[in-house]
Amino acid sequence: YLNKKPAGKTDFYEYAFDGGLKLNVPSDWNSQLPELKYYEGTVWYAKHFDAPKEQNGRLFIYFAAVSYRCKVYLNGKEIAAHEGGFTPFQVEVTGLVKDTDNFLALEVNNTRTADAIPAKSFDWWNYGGITRDVMLISTPKVFIQDYFIQLDKHRSNQINAQVKVSDSQANVAVTVEIPELNIKQKLLTDQQGIARASIANVKHLQRWSPENPRRYNVRVSAAADAVDEMIGFRNLAVKGTRVYLNDKPIFLKSISFHEEIPQRKGRAFSEADATMLLSEAMALGCNMIRLAHYPQNEYTVRTAEKMGFLLWEETPIWQGIDFENQETKKKAGNMIKEMVMRDKNRCALSFWGMANETKPSAARNEFLSYLIKCTKEIDSTRLITAAFDLVRFDRSKQRFVMDDPFIKEIDVVAINKYMGWYHPWPVTPDKAIWEVATDKPLIISEFGAEALYGKTGDADVASSWSEDYQAQLYKDNLEMFKNIPNLTGISPWVLFDFRSPFRFHPTYQEGWNRKGLVSDQGFRKKAWYIIADYYKNIK
Ligand code: GCU
């Protein structure tokens, strides 16, 4: 990172950036060179840049994500380090940049470790690299550091706004404007540099919904800084065993996808990628996306909101996490705060997911309760959920049941259950009655089976890996879902075949998890049409 060059006759260095591999940024490295497909380790990136001409006070370098951990060096000095492959971070470089030829180097490492999040084994590809945008941002001396603007949780005509200016500056004049709603609030920051407003009796507000994803231009200004952002306003609540959007019960027609473009065998990172993934969900008739299993890029989140999808976001607390490790707990807290900080102004964001398929234990319960606390420190308005996979069939009761102490801490219970795939049917689907968390809304957050596109076979032979078997399994599960009294939504696993180091059956998988309703080449399997029909007709 010192970028030393040989000077005298006897100098030599066993490294150089000039003449090295060229890697695209943003993009994972695995998809850029065959020899990097499985690469797990360290890659050094470097870039020369000139300071921007127009600088009006302060300069920051912003990384939308680097997977999985990195150190940042500028002109020979370490200026930042970050762990977590799916959330943004930034570093102020005011006064550290020269007019020309600044040297930025990143040491990026994606080696899996037992104390990380995710830990050593997870069912998706371990893409490494500077996987999302990098930006050089100049701001005025006093700038708008953060804001949180949303419809009040309980009132449909009150907008709450909170604006924080840099360095906790007090007595700074702040304006919040929403021209289409005739709102123009003049505020002053307090001793913590925060200005607050509860704007009551808002007239003619069109609340955001999947049918009408209405957003408003909101302008926040303070001192010489101003930010324009499109923000939607909606009410979201749990009443009994249903989720209510804008005071009406809603059935969640969800789907999951990983942050991956299968045809490119690479991580999705652009607006075009987001549009491709979300257009397929729109065609399927969904009104919600469970963004599996980590915070996906902002293009996906913002495009989903524009198109009218409710969102579930989660950090990769996936199965085996070192719940006993206090360092890991701190990391998890930081990660979930970075996620909530980034997306708290996205009205489409409805569910914060705390975990996926974790086993009950005192340490796990304590760890996840801490994550709920971290989440609510920033946003106490959205619904807290978690996906569990320990529903079992109780033969004596002839019921599907699950007891997990963590259920009482969350608003909506989510269950992953692969009836007909990992679990043979103990009774016929029409007799598969559920009695799980019956006082809360329940989402089936995963179900499905693998099928190789184009493979035909017997609809009752799992080992055929056929579209017919997958389609029949979907029909059977939809039949069973009629017997879940508190069902408020479903989210089949998964929209697209995706890459995984777990999935190496030589004929049917070859490194792909084939549970997609759409193949890795973009072809819709028979089960796709079963869900499309179900979503079209469900009330
Ligand atoms: C689990 C897990 C998914 C995984 C899926 C599968 O439920 O949540 O990440 O891909 O099952 O087995 O395909």
| For range 379-404, the mean pLDDT | 97
CA of 226 to the centre of ligand 1 (A): 43
| For range 101-113, the mean pLDDT | 98
Q: Is the pLDDT of residue 53 over 90?
A: no
**Selection from 136, 137, 142, 116 nearest residue 128 by Cα:** 116
Residue 358, token pair as written in the block = 């974790």
The rounded distance, in Å, linking the Cα atoms of 86 and 71 is: 16
Contact 405, 367 (CB under 8 A): no
* pLDDT of the residue at 265: 97
Residue 150, token pair as written in the block = 């949303």
The strands making up 144-151's β-sheet, listed across from edge to edge, are 144-151, 159-165, 194-199
Largest CA distance in the chain: 85
CA of 356 to the centre of ligand 1 (A): 9
Q: Is 141 exposed, middle or buried (0-12, 13-18, 19+ CB in 10 A)?
A: middle
Contact 425, 449 (CB under 8 A): no
* pLDDT of the residue at 184: 98
The rounded distance, in Å, linking the Cα atoms of 113 and 94 is: 34
Q: What are the backbone dihedrals phi and psi of residue 477, each rounded to the nearest 5 degrees, phi first?
A: -70, -40
Q: Is 320 in the pocket of ligand 1 (CB under 6 A)?
A: no
Q: Is 450 in the pocket of ligand 1 (CB under 6 A)?
A: no
| For range 191-207, the mean pLDDT | 98
pLDDT in tens, 143-158: 999 999 999 999 999 9
Q: Is the pLDDT of residue 54 over 90?
A: no
Strands 42-49 and 102-109: antiparallel
Mutate to test the pocket of ligand 1, among 259, 321, 416, 503 (most ligand atoms within 8 A of CB): 416
Q: Is 416 in the pocket of ligand 1 (CB under 6 A)?
A: yes
pLDDT in tens, 459-490: 999 999 999 999 999 999 999 999 999 999 99
Alpha carbon distance, N-terminus to C-terminus of the chain: 59
The rounded distance, in Å, linking the Cα atoms of 217 and 488 is: 32
Lowest mean pLDDT among 53-62, 258-267, 502-511, 518-527: 53-62
Q: Is the pLDDT of residue 56 over 90?
A: no
In whole numbers, what is the pLDDT of the chain averaged over residues?
97
CA of 123 to the centre of ligand 1 (A): 7
Amino acid identity, position 39: Y
Residue 398, token pair as written in the block = 């002839």
The rounded distance, in Å, linking the Cα atoms of 223 and 147 is: 15
Q: H or E stretch including 186?
A: strand 183-188
| DSSP bridge pairs for 291 | 257
| For range 431-455, the mean pLDDT | 98
3-state secondary structure 94-135: CCCCCCCCEEEEEEEECCCCCCCCCCCCCCCCCCCECCCCEE
Q: What are the backbone dihedrals phi and psi of residue 371, each rounded to the nearest 5 degrees, phi first?
A: -65, -35
Contact 317, 293 (CB under 8 A): no
Output the residue whose Cα is nearest ligand 1's atom 4: 123
Which three-class secondary structure state does DSSP give residue 278?
helix
DSSP string, 393-415: EETTTTEEE---GGGGG-SEEEE
- The dihedral sign for the CA sequence 355, 349, 290, 119: negative
pLDDT in tens, 338-361: 999 999 999 999 999 999 999 999
Q: Is 497 in the pocket of ligand 1 (CB under 6 A)?
A: no
| For range 298-308, the mean pLDDT | 98
Please state the length of the chain: 539
| For range 37-47, the mean pLDDT | 97
**Selection from 465, 338, 360, 448 nearest residue 406 by Cα:** 360
CA of 296 to the centre of ligand 1 (A): 17
| Rounded to 5°, angle at Cα 417 from 372 and 442 | 50
Percent of the chain with pLDDT over 70: 100
Output the residue whose Cα is nearest ligand 1's atom 9: 123
Q: How confident is the model at residue 7 (pLDDT cuts 50, 70, 90)?
A: very high
Q: Is 515 in the pocket of ligand 1 (CB under 6 A)?
A: yes
Q: Is the pLDDT of residue 287 over 90?
A: yes
Q: Is 356 in the pocket of ligand 1 (CB under 6 A)?
A: yes
Q: Is the pLDDT of residue 420 over 90?
A: yes
pLDDT in tens, 208-229: 999 999 999 999 999 999 999 9
Mutate to test the pocket of ligand 1, among 385, 390, 446 (most ligand atoms within 8 A of CB): 446
Q: Is the pLDDT of residue 539 over 90?
A: no
* pLDDT of the residue at 64: 98
Output the residue whose Cα is nearest ligand 1's atom 12: 123
* pLDDT of the residue at 428: 98
Residue 120, token pair as written in the block = 């050593």
